[in-house]
Amino acid sequence: MSEVAYEAGFSSPSYFTKCFKEFYKENPSDYIKRISEGFG
């Protein structure tokens, strides 16, 4: 997740996770799991 955070312009992975959770109402790993289950 760190690489995604830095590529998206965030200064730290924890801040990326905080912002992601505020926007999507779930943490990035749960989001990825939920989305990938739809393609299985």
- The token pair at 11 is 């200064």
Predicted pLDDT of residue 32: 93
**Gap between the Cα atoms of 35 and 20, Å rounded:** 15
- The token pair at 6 is 């830095």
Residues 8 and 28: beta-carbon distance below 8 Å? no
Mean pLDDT of 4-33: 96
- For the cut 60, the answer to whether the pLDDT of residue 26 exceeds it is yes
Which of 7, 32, 2 is closest to 17 using CA atoms?
2
More confident residue, 5 or 39: 5
- The token pair at 19 is 């912002």
pTM over the 0.85 mark: no
Q: Could you tell me the sign of the dihedral formed by the alpha carbons of 16, 21, 23, 24, in that order? A: positive
